[in-house]
Amino acid sequence: MVLVSLNGDDPILQQKLLTILNRENSYAWTVMIKDQSPEHNYESVEKAKNYFTIIDKSEDILEIIGKWKTLSTWNPMAQVVILMANAMDLIELESNRRNLIILLLQNHVLNAYIVSLQSNSSRIEVATLFPYDGENCADQVLDISIVDVCEYDPEIDLNVELENIAQWEVFNHYENKLPNDLHSCPLMVSARMWEPYAFYDSKENDFSAGIDVNIVRTITERLNMFLYIAPQNGTIYEVHEEIVKGYVMFY
């Protein structure tokens, strides 16, 4: 499933993009259109595998992600392709691109690609962040990578002749962003004593055994992660809020 968010500001451009998606014969598409209209009464057991949206500035992504999250198709692990509609000078473009990636990370969206056009240029770039590259643990923006570039004839009206852009690729073109070795990145798990799923050793101040504990330990060992299990004292909602706000720390 590809979930497409439209803003209604440039219908010709958006129609051309949807036509390109429809003509792609490499994949069996299920396209769901989600625009700025009132809430859709739509339920699906299928999670979105791709998202595509057009934005004017980086902050626009917050409202769009907010709408995606209300749908039963929401999948933060899906590939997200974002087209920045406005051509910008180099400084403005780099600033918007970095801010956009920061906002995506804050919403736990790790597999995003940003398509942008620099003003006074015929160069279209696709940029992304590899969230676990080097020692990074998807918690900061160190290096933004340009993974694809194409040139187009500046005399062509993109609103009318979008399909003439050379080497245009939209989905499933890039390498996996989530490696199997996460080089000791931390995994926070909140748990409470609940036999036989979790046994808490008060002397060691740690969860020593249990069905769920052993499953989590096996996963973290396989992915080479650092596991920290925080005892859950409050309700599940209170603990979730503490984790999201960063009140629970690693030691």
- Domains in the chain: boundaries: 2-164, 185-245
Return d(Cα 207, Cα 191) in angstroms, integer: 8
Structural element, H or E, at residue 34: strand 31-34
Only one residue has tokens 């503490």, namely 242
Among 236, 232, 199, residue whose Cα is nearest residue 217? 199
pLDDT of amino acid 26? 58
CA–CA distance from 38 to each of 139, 196, 204 (Å)? 34, 46, 53
Which stretch of DSSP H or E encloses residue 240? helix 236-245
User: Is a pLDDT exceeding 70 seen at residue 140?
Assistant: yes
For the entire predicted model, the pTM comes to: 0.70
Helix (H, G, I), strand (E, B) or coil at 99: helix
pLDDT confidence of residue 146: 85
pLDDT at 218 (0 to 100): 94
Q: What is the average per-residue pLDDT within 37-56?
A: 70
Q: Across 23-37, 87-101, 136-150, 165-179, which has the greatest mean pLDDT?
A: 87-101
> For position 98, what pLDDT does the model report?
92
CATH of 2-164, one of 3.40.50, 3.20.20, 3.30.310, 3.40.190: 3.40.50
In CATH, which of 3.30.160.20, 3.30.465.10, 3.40.50.720, 3.40.190.10 is domain 185-245?
A: 3.40.190.10
103 DSSP β-pair partners: none
Mean pLDDT of all residues in the chain? 75
